[in-house]
Amino acid sequence: MASVLAFDKVTVRFDDNVVLDRITLDLEEGETCIILGAAGSGKTILLKTALGLIQPDEGRVWLFGQDTSTLEEDDLRELRSRMGILFQEGGLFDSLTIEENVAYPLLNHKSLRCPRDEVLPRVSEALQFVELGHTLAKYPSELSGGMRRRVGIARAIVTQPELLLYDSPTAGLDPITANTIMALIAKERDLRNTTTALATHRYQDGHLLANYRYNAKTERLEAVSAGGDREKLQTRFIVLGDGRIVFEGSQEQLEASTDPYVSKFAKPLSQSE
C-alpha cells in the first residue's frame, strides 16, 4: 500500500526543549494510527508537524510521497487540501454560522474551490453525516460542546480528504458524548476508507476504532472478532513519552506490555477515565 504520511528521524525543538525526539513512523493508505500519551508528551506537536504548521529541526516529513521540506508554501497548501483536521475544541469561527464554518475550506482552499451552487449541498451532506442538518443557520455559541465537536468533524470531512487527523476529539466530553464522537469517526473511516491518525490519552477511543466497524446496511457500529477481522481494520497503537515513541504495535501487544508508563494507557475499560 502507498505511504500517506511518514516521519523520518524527525526532531522538533522549542529553544532548548526537545518536544519530538527522532520520531520515525509510516502511515499507509487506509490505516488507523492511535497516538496515546500523557499531556505534554508531544501528541499535538506531532500532528501540527504532519500538517506542516511546524517544521522539524532535524529529519523529514513526507506527505503523499512528497518531502514537505522541499515544498513552497503554495505547494504545501495543496497537500493540506487533501487532509482534514479536528482540533481539540473544534476550532470553529464564533462569528460565522454553522453553514459558513463548514463551507470555509470549500471556499478558501484554492484547489478546492467549487461552484457556489455546489457548496450548500456539500455542506448539508456533511452536517447530515454528523446528524446536525438542522443547525445550518445557528452560531457555535448556540450549540453544546459535543455538537460543536460534531460540526468540527463535518468541516473536516466536507472536502472528502484522504487523510484525517484528530487531536483529542473527546477531551472534556462526558462518556456518552465521547462515544458519539468516536462512532462518527469510525463511520467516516469505514465508509470512505480514510487514513486516520487520532491523538488521545483515552484508551477507550483507540479500543473502539480497533474493535468496531461501521455497517452501512444496518447503519450501526458492530464489534469485530479477534484475529483476521480485527487485523482488517489495520489499527496500530503508538505511545509517546517525552517526545519519543516508547511503544508501537497492536492492541494485543499494548495490553501485554509490562512497561509501567505504557501499560497505564491500556487499562481495562472499567478502570479508564
Q: Which helix (H) or strand (E) holds 75?
A: helix 73-80
114-125 confidence digits (pLDDT tens): 788 899 999 999
Q: Which helix (H) or strand (E) holds 181?
A: helix 175-192
Structural domains of the chain, ranges and CATH numbers in brackets? 3-265 (3.40.50.300)
The alpha helices in the chain, defined as continuous H runs, are: 43-51, 73-80, 98-108, 116-129, 145-157, 175-192, 203-211, 228-232, 251-256, 260-263
pLDDT mean over 209-225:
93
pLDDT mean over 182-189:
97
Which residues are paired to 195 by β-bridges? 163
The string of DSSP codes covering 220-248 is EEEEPPTTHHHHHT-EEEEEEETTEEEEE
pLDDT at 128 over 60: yes
pLDDT at 273 over 60: no
55-93 confidence digits (pLDDT tens): 999 999 999 999 998 999 889 988 999 999 998 766 899
pLDDT at 270 over 80: no
**Least confident among 104-113, 152-161, 200-209, 212-221:** 104-113
pLDDT mean over 32-47:
96
Amino acid at 257: S
Residue 112: the pLDDT is: 67
Look at the block and give the residue holding cell 489495520.
234
Residue 108: the pLDDT is: 83
Task: Evaluate whether 206 touches 178 at the Cβ level (below 8 Å).
Answer: no
Q: Identify the CA nearest to 159 among candidates 107, 200, 199, 203.
A: 107
Percent of the chain with pLDDT over 90: 82
